[in-house]
Structure 1
Amino acid sequence: MNKHIAAFNALHQQEEALCLGNAWDLLSALVLEQSGFKAIGTTSWGVANTLGYKDGEKISFDELLTLAKKIISNVSVPVTVDIEAGFATDAAAIAGNVLKIAELGAAGINIEDSLKHEGGLQTQAAHCHVLEKIRLTLDSKGYQHFFINARTDTYLQLEQPLAQTISRGQAYIDSGASGLFVPGLSQAEDIRAVVAAIKAPLNVMSLPNLTDVEVLQQLGVKRFSIGNALSDAAIAFIESQADRLLTQKNSAGLYDHCEVKTAFK
């Protein structure tokens, strides 16, 4: 078994919540590793921006594979890849795509239940079928503990999402998922309810009102993802500095935060 798969699973079982750094290219992944992150995930939003696309499977799967290979080959910590809804509609094709990610040396994936070519969520039954196919395909090829992070977008799409989140979450775990990812989940009482109902690691994503990892850890959260927040902050910094450079005709601002600790190999 890939040593990173075992290490990545262990990071979800410790008392301390896993703080996952989300990279959008090789440079950002190297910086995150150098800063001390124990695992790295990709952010589909940030990756799409880097390649000049909007988020939502606008890039090709081959482009995602190329980026994932670069990151996995150049960092020494476990890497999990955001594959959105799988870059296919057929369960077998999605499972084949996940297998390609596993074969690169990744430790896991995120896969979501949002539909990409129309609005709304995939039906619970249909998404369970996808997860089952992924798990069976991985197991048959020797990736039994590859971490499948089942993302449900209930809190992004439904007005009363808690009951549906718990229903989908348990069904996804029963179908072979390793953990549950609920972006948009932020209220303490809802987090407690999901943790109590789903016996698998809960992953939440950074939001303006959801930033304190220690508080979330006390609520039972096992994984905290930066998501696209860091890549957005980097873009905002570039925009502000570019505007400042043009309006002030002075590059002094570029040196306010540019000390580089170590040159990369």
Structure 2
Amino acid sequence: MRAPRVTSNPFVGLHYDDSPLLLPNAWDHASALVMAGEGFPAVGTTSLAVAAGVGLPDGAAATRDETLRLALVLGSQPFLLSVDAEGGFSDDPDEVAEFARQLAGVGAVGINLEDGSGPVDRHVAKIAAVKSAVPDLFVNARTDTYWLGEHDETETLLRLDAYQQAGADGVFVPGMTDAREIAALVARLDVPLNVLYSPAGPTVPHLADLGVSRVSLGSYLYRRALGAALEAVDEIRAGRRPAGAGRTPAYDDVQRLTGCRPRAASG
């Protein structure tokens, strides 16, 4: 992996530390602040949760406004923000670059752009346009070759090589969980490799040993939160006390996240 480029963006350096950047992905103001409160220097967003929260499909370029609105809320907070922007919400590289410029303008330091395994040239053009428009923004170029079930090592490397050449600061291969494949890919790359955490895949220490630079949690925390809500309501309906309730933030704790002073609980 080549040395990091010279930049004023502190997010870049987090990808070159001795241990991988573990990036929790938030879906609103509260989820981002509780993660930052746990000591994470950077927080990402998750497109699935942003879309689900407003009743729209993920990966369909339907949540451009919602994504920008969330970035506006989070970009001024005391943590580094990386935004999951699907494929940039357009096939026009200039429009994607303009969206990236808007994200940077509200405080985002990174953007995640996925190819959906569409044409390589189209994604290359998007990456190049973003880097031209906002040079200091960290572009994490994602390929969906594994995410969509293709598991084609040759095609994956072809795409990542092209994205590196286009100026991507890092590359992302969600769905890749085989330790051998991960190590082989790290050895071939010039930029940091980002993988998506999977409970069935390598642990974070194992990923560190493999040379992974960034581990994203994606929609996992959001789905776990939904699962915890379902488990709690099942326990309550059955007349039992919910397990793990001690980790549940108090009403006043959540109020403090908004800067409000605690008051009598109302809901």
User: TM (normalized to structure 2)?
Assistant: 0.87
Question: What is the rounded CA distance, in whole Å, between the counterparts of 2:179 and 2:126 in structure 1?
Answer: 30
Quick check: 1:258 aligned with 2:248? Answer: yes
Within-5 A mapping of 1:29-48:
29-48=32-51
Q: Of 144, 152, 158, which aligns to 1:161?
A: 152
1:13-41 deviation digits (Å, cap 9, x = unpaired): 11111000110111000000001111100
Structure 2 residue runs of 5 or longer lacking an equivalent are 1-6, 260-267
Q: Of 184, 196, 212, which aligns to 1:221?
A: 212
Q: Of 199, 224, 229, which aligns to 1:233?
A: 224
What amino acid is aligned across from residue 118 of structure 2 in structure 1?
Q
Question: What is the rounded CA distance, in whole Å, between the counterparts of 1:236 and 1:158 in structure 2?
Answer: 25
Partner of 1:128: 124
Quick check: 1:137 aligned with 2:133? Answer: yes
Asked if 2 retains the 8 angstrom alpha-carbon contact of 1:21 and 1:32, the reply is yes
Say if 1:242 and 1:160 are closer, same or farther in 2 by CA, change over 3 A: closer
Partner of 1:198: 189
Shift of 1:247: 3.6
Partner of 1:80: 82
Structure 1 residue runs of 5 or longer lacking an equivalent are 115-120, 139-143
Asked if 1 retains the 8 angstrom alpha-carbon contact of 2:86 and 2:114, the reply is yes
Q: Of 245, 248, 256, which aligns to 2:236?
A: 245
Partner of 2:265: none
RMSD over aligned Cα atoms: 2.0
How many residue pairs were aligned? 249
Question: What is the rounded CA distance, in whole Å, between the counterparts of 1:185 and 1:252 in structure 2?
Answer: 35
Q: Decide which moves more: 125-134 or 15-24.
A: 125-134
Shift of 1:253: 5.5
Say if 1:99 and 1:253 are closer, same or farther in 2 by CA, change over 3 A: same
Shift of 1:57: 3.4
| Percent pairwise identity | 35
SS in 2 for 1:105: coil
Question: What is the rounded CA distance, in whole Å, between the counterparts of 1:81 and 1:159 in structure 2?
Answer: 26
1:89-148 deviation digits (Å, cap 9, x = unpaired): 21111111111111111001000001xxxxxx211122111211111122xxxxx22100
Asked if 2 retains the 8 angstrom alpha-carbon contact of 1:40 and 1:77, the reply is yes
Q: Of 55, 68, 71, which aligns to 2:74?
A: 71
Say if 1:251 and 1:160 are closer, same or farther in 2 by CA, change over 3 A: closer
Partner of 2:9: 6
SS in 1 for 2:25: strand
Question: What is the rounded CA distance, in whole Å, between the counterparts of 1:65 and 1:106 in structure 2?
Answer: 10
Partner of 1:106: 108
Q: Of 154, 164, 172, which aligns to 1:181?
A: 172
Partner of 1:24: 27
1:34-93 deviation digits (Å, cap 9, x = unpaired): 0111110001111112222332236431111111111122x2111000000111121111
Q: Decide which moves more: 155-164 or 177-186.
A: 155-164
What amino acid is aligned across from residue 42 of structure 2 in structure 1?
A
